[in-house]
Structure 1
Amino acid sequence: MQNLTQTATKVLPTQTLEGKMFSDNGYTLELATSEATVGNHVPLQFRILDPVGTPLIRYTDTHDKQLHLIVVGLDLTGFQHVHPELNENGNWYVSVDFDHAGDYRVFADFTPDGGDGITLSADVRVAGSYDPRPLPAATAATTVDGYTVSLEGAAHAGQTSKLTLSVSRDGIPVTDLQPYLAAYGHLVALRASDLAYLHVHPDGYPGDGVTPAGPAITFYANMPSAEDYRLFLDFKHGGVVRTAEFTLTADNATTPGAEHSSHAHHGH
């Protein structure tokens, strides 16, 4: 994650995919438990250990928060973006909803004080009979709570892709989106095959004098391989944060070593 004042550039740095390991660059995500039961407001506790094994207590705020926690089923259902509370001992606390049994992935997206952004992940198994749901087909529009969100732009594997998501309600473009996490929209992209976490960032930010408050929100991302990705757009309107979900298919592009090609830096 970077300050939004630094993210307007469309030349994105080279990075590897993140969010595929519980430990990286000396930091470790340690869940208090890897098992849970179906229910709402289920307590989730964890900590981040630094390179010497001490709970990390100093973080740099990114998009108004010390840490962003993403929870999603391995079948890419049940997406949640929440912000835990940190105590003086380095323990994080939050409540999440596990609305069905199965395995869920937990992503911790944070920046250690004085360091670079890191995304770590771990799995939680929710007891019960599990019936994985198929990935929805790619589509150019989706609805949530009476809002329609349309997606424009193609994704090419290994290349920076411009994705524009436009919000309307009852056929009328929404032009008064409210800032959420220092942006008019927050986008999480996960590769469907392995839930690799892609960093994406918006073009512009509220109050910069040029970025409108809707209906369009533009992002830049890099899809490292030609396959399906699941996109989750958080946007705020009328004081409520809603999440629009899309499946996007990246086509094949001429980029050897696309797994390590440039994709958007921390933009949450």
Structure 2
Amino acid sequence: MQTAVRLGSYLAVLCVVFGAAWGAGSAFGGSGDGPAPAAAQAHEPGMAAMAPPPAAAGPDPADPLGLSATAAGYTFVPTTTSFGVNSPTTFSFRITGSDGAPVTAFDAAPDQEFRPGERMNLLVVRRDAAGMQDLSPTMGPDGTWNVPFLLPAAGVWRAYADFIPTGGPRLALGTDLFAPGEFAPFTFPDSRIFPPAGAPAAVDGYQVRIDGRLVPGVPSAVYTTVGRWGQPVTELEPTRGGFGRLVAVREGDLAYVRVRPETTRPLPTDRAGPAIAFSTEVPTAGTYRFFLGYRHEGRTGTAEFTVSTAGS
């Protein structure tokens, strides 16, 4: 069954000019046959029925997300915050309520930002906005969430827990994790847009482009396009509830920005491409790091972009 991404004349023009498109760059974890170092795990069904304690009012939707470990009476509490470099382990954490007890009841996200039925999304990125990991932890009966985990380089890393506690508001809480060792900063490729700049760059034979116009404080359409060996990829496979998963953080303070796919949730057998449509709303003017996860021929890849708002 084929599912087309409906982008109107944009897609028609884009397919014609795709070979000349400029793109963005490196893949964290690449497009190899195996899973990324911190492989996402399937959601474990059966959330406990215990309701969380009454919480404070939810945060203002206009406030930047992920800058605090506590909001609306809920707190993101890791079991440990220090990890060895390139040491496979398990990252464990809890979400506690205003009474300090672990929350064990969570609602599934109503949109396509999570997998179907998923109740917790965990994102991890280094403080220099490198090495994004998009993880799916599972919860035990005591409210402890666990996920296989590996930090590939030394430095301070930011972890975000995105969830909806039953009876509470949707939240994105953040906390820092530490990987001791010699820090080596990452130099990002020149892939800024608005105005466009840069040149196509291959990622294991793939070229990925981002287009759109980010305007702070209002919904902005963002389009990504995936090609391989200079040809449009029209057989993108479903991943994370859509045909691609796009996440973003603001450079500097690493405020987390939600990005929503603008397609219906695909069936496992559906295919689409080369373009994927998203919408987002960045809180302020400035520069943002975008990370696109995509899947093709059973392999996953991640492309990164450095994106400035209109007028920046």
Q: TM-score range by the shorter chain?
A: 0.7 to 0.9
Give per-residue Cα distances to partners, 1:182-204, cap 9 Å, x unaligned. 21111111001110001111112
Residue 264 of structure 1 aligns with which residue?
none
TM-score by length of 1: 0.82
1:97 deviates by 2.0
User: In structure 2, the residue corresponding to 1:151 is in which secondary structure?
Assistant: strand
Contact 1:142 1:244 in 2 (8 A): no
Unaligned regions of 5+ residues in structure 1, if any?
1-12, 254-268
Give per-residue Cα distances to partners, 1:2-49, cap 9 Å, x unaligned. xxxxxxxxxxx9532111100111110001112111114232111111
Question: How do residues 41-56 of structure 1 correspond to structure 2 at under 5 angstroms?
Answer: 41-56=88-103
Residue 113 of structure 1 aligns with which residue?
166
Q: Indicate which of 15, 23, 27 corresponds to 2:74.
A: 27
* Partners of 1:41 and 1:110 in 2: CA distance: 25
* Partners of 1:97 and 1:142 in 2: CA distance: 27
Question: How do residues 1-268 of structure 1 correspond to structure 2 at under 5 angstroms?
Answer: 14-62=61-109, 63=114, 64=116, 65-139=118-192, 142-207=201-266, 213-252=272-311
The percentage of counterpart residues that share the same residue type is 34
Q: Measured at CA, do residues 147 and 135 of structure 1 come closer, stay the same or move farther in structure 2, by a change above 3 Å?
A: closer
Name whichever structure is richer in strand by fraction.
Answer: 1
Q: How many residues are aligned here?
A: 239
Give per-residue Cα distances to partners, 1:105-164, cap 9 Å, x unaligned. 111111112433211111011111113224443346554332111111122233322110
* Partners of 1:155 and 1:189 in 2: CA distance: 12
* Partners of 1:60 and 1:146 in 2: CA distance: 39
Q: Measured at CA, do residues 14 and 93 of structure 1 come closer, stay the same or move farther in structure 2, by a change above 3 Å?
A: closer
Give per-residue Cα distances to partners, 1:48-87, cap 9 Å, x unaligned. 1122221111112232221111111001112111111211
TM-score by length of 2: 0.71
Contact 2:222 2:278 in 1 (8 A): yes
Over alpha carbons, which structure has the higher Rg? 2
Contact 1:19 1:121 in 2 (8 A): yes
For the aligned residue pairs, the C-alpha RMSD in angstroms reads: 2.2
Contact 1:148 1:169 in 2 (8 A): yes
Counterpart amino acid of residue 185 in structure 2? P
Contact 1:142 1:246 in 2 (8 A): no
Contact 1:203 1:220 in 2 (8 A): yes
User: In structure 2, the residue corresponding to 1:111 is in which secondary structure?
Assistant: strand
Counterpart amino acid of residue 160 in structure 1? P
* Partners of 1:49 and 1:191 in 2: CA distance: 26
